[in-house]
């Protein structure tokens, strides 16, 4: 038969002792290495993250600058086309000016000979061989001698003579007879 004592055992109580953990040097070294690696990895992570953010901002700035430069490039191309168009027009005008002959040169010389100070307007210019007749009006007859001397100085006319002056109400009508230097130049 088995007896069970339900009362507290009267035996001596022994204190339980817990095992003290012992720290090994190898574990401490591994722990230190782990902490250093974790710190280095964390530092590297923040550095790389900062570099990525800086690179992203730089990329956005460069894209904006590229868009601005593309816009400027289009404007420059537009102005270059305008410049070429104007230059081609200028070239055509220069070519026409170089190819001017006879009547055009004669008219240019007459127009450039009109005095700037006086009021003088021309009504007709006729040419028969090397004889040219210029008819016009002026409010001040003192302008006519200046006009005649300018015509002579132009080099196209050999002689410039006053044919007539008629005084009218508001202006005086005049006519000049000019002889050109050569037939080929005036025709």
Phi, psi dihedrals of residue 162, rounded to the nearest 5°: -85, 120
Predicted confidence pLDDT, tens digits, the chain (187 residues): 777 666 665 555 666 777 777 778 888 899 999 999 999 999 999 999 999 999 999 999 999 999 999 999 999 999 999 999 999 999 998 887 777 666 777 888 888 888 887 788 888 888 888 888 999 998 888 888 888 888 888 888 888 888 888 888 888 899 999 988 764 443 4
Helix ranges restricted to H, the chain:
25-98, 102-113, 143-153, 183-186
Superfamily designation of domain 102-186? General secretion pathway protein M, EpsM (3.30.1360.100)
Q: How far apart, in whole angstroms, are the C-alpha atoms of residue 161 and residue 156?
A: 14
* pTM across the whole model: 0.45
Dihedral of the alpha carbons of 82, 87, 90, 92, in degrees to the nearest 10: -110
Phi-psi region of 52 (alpha: psi -120 to 50; beta: other; left: phi over 0): alpha
């Amino acid at each position: 038969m088995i007896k069970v004592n339900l009362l507290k055992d009267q035996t001596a109580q022994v204190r339980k002792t817990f095992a003290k953990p012992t720290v090994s040097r190898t574990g401490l070294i591994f722990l230190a290495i782990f902490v250093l690696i974790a710190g280095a990895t964390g530092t590297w992570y923040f550095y790389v993250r900062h570099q990525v953010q800086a690179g992203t901002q730089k990329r956005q700035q460069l894209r904006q600058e590229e868009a601005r430069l593309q816009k400027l490039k289009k404007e420059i191309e537009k102005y270059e086309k305008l410049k070429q168009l104007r230059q081609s027009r200028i070239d055509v005008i220069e070519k026409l000016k170089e190819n001017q002959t006879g009547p055009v040169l004669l008219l240019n010389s007459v127009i450039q000979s009109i005095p700037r100070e006086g009021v003088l307007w021309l009504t007709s210019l006729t040419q028969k061989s090397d004889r040219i007749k210029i008819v016009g009006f002026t409010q001040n007859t003192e302008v006519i001698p200046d006009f005649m001397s300018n015509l002579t100085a132009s080099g196209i006319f050999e002689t410039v003579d006053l044919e007539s002056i008629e005084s009218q109400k508001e202006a005086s009508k005049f006519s000049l007879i000019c002889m050109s230097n050569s037939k080929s130049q005036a025709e």
